[in-house]
């Protein structure tokens, strides 16, 4: 693909969403997969334990030297906070309480958001549903990098900086690609989060607050788990848009690595995605996949044929219904 320098260097297509046909085929052949489409109550208790774990960590780091605050933010807190963003991903699909209690999932997402430090959960749900409905949709799917990102971050050093700054781009991109009116739940998410941040600062001090925020920024930037951002939809192989990862970090990320399976069946909780692959093995085993997110990051940064432009981008046809 070469170094990309213009908007037209995205892989432009007019086809329908790529996962719908496979979903229909699999369900026709294996209707028992429908039994996996149910909430995962274990998710509730796991999230509660993760929040409590970070609260303990906030207390433990409050009197440490600054170098140890940052060390533990990267070595421990980043793993918890990145994992929590993927718990919020699960909750955005109503995996905690089910579709019949959708609002319970929204409130629980706000709770799960607390140790991350930045209000995130409600806005993520709104944009993530668009990502599933209109994967790669031009002007809709904010997972697609902007023209500036593709044009500027095209060398090894610049791509390395881009990976570090991923939290910034994921935050700002919706404002440029697909801005939406603020909802009352987003306001509540923001007020609750800022109140929590003030409470942490008041009771534990500045080091605990910095630990919390640094854990999120470092964990979502240049971090082994962040390989999933690149692995999921960047075209390392021409013609393959979505890739799964079957390595051990799925244990920390609610099986988000099973990404072909997830896009085929977004209403199946991550806990059950390995069963989808097992039942319909002939549909997944021959697809290209990864075993190391670290290698994905390394290859993305060092391979001059891969850049933020290495994505499929779709011209939308027909009516578009945004979240």
pLDDT of residue 321: 64
Quote the longest CA-to-CA distance of the chain: 59
Phi-psi region of 258 (alpha: psi -120 to 50; beta: other; left: phi over 0): beta
d(CA 114, CA 55): 10
Low-confidence ranges of the chain (pLDDT < 50): 1-6, 12, 14
pLDDT of residue 323: 60
d(CA 125, CA 32): 28
Q: Which residues pair with 245 in a beta bridge?
A: 290
pLDDT of residue 191: 98
pLDDT of residue 148: 93
The ranges assigned to domains in the chain are: 11-313
Strand 244-245 to 11-13 pairing: unpaired
Whole-model pTM: value is 0.92
pLDDT of residue 1: 37
pLDDT of residue 2: 39
Residue written as tokens 């028992």? 32
d(CA 129, CA 254): 18
pLDDT of residue 239: 78
pLDDT of residue 313: 86
Residue 271, judged by CB atoms within 10 A of its CB (0-12, 13-18, 19+), counts as middle
């Amino acid at each position: 693909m070469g170094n990309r320098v213009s908007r037209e260097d995205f892989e432009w297509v007019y086809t329908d969403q790529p996962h719908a046909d496979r979903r229909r085929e699999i369900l026709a052949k294996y209707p028992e997969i429908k039994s996996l489409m149910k909430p995962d109550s274990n998710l509730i208790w796991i999230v509660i334990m993760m929040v409590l774990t970070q609260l303990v960590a906030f207390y433990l780091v409050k009197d440490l030297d600054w170098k140890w605050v940052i060390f533990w933010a990267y070595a421990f807190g980043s793993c918890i906070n990145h994992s929590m963003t993927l718990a919020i991903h699960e909750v955005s699909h109503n995996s905690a309480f089910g579709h019949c209690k959708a609002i319970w999932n929204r409130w629980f997402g706000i709770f799960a958001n607390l140790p991350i430090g930045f209000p995130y959960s409600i806005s993520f749900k709104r944009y993530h549903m668009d990502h599933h409905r209109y994967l790669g949709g031009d002007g809709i799917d904010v997972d697609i990098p902007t023209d500036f990102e593709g044009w500027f971050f095209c060398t090894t050093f610049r791509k390395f900086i881009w990976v570090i700054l991923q939290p910034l781009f994921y935050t700002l991109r919706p404002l440029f690609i697909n801005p939406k009116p603020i909802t009352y739940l987003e306001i509540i998410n923001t007020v609750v989060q800022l109140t929590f941040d003030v409470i942490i600062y008041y009771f534990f001090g500045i080091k605990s607050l910095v630990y919390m925020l640094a854990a999120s920024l470092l964990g979502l930037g240049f971090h082994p788990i962040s390989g999933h951002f690149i692995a999921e939809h960047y075209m390392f192989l021409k013609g393959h848009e979505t890739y799964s990862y079957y390595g051990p970090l799925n244990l920390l990320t609610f099986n988000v690595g099973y990404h072909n399976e997830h896009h085929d069946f977004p209403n199946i909780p991550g806990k059950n995605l390995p069963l989808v692959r097992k039942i319909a093995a002939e549909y997944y085993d021959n697809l290209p996949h990864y075993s190391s997110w670290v290698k994905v990051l390394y290859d993305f940064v060092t391979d001059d044929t891969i850049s933020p432009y290495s994505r499929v981008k779709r011209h939308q046809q027909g009516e578009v219904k945004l979240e």
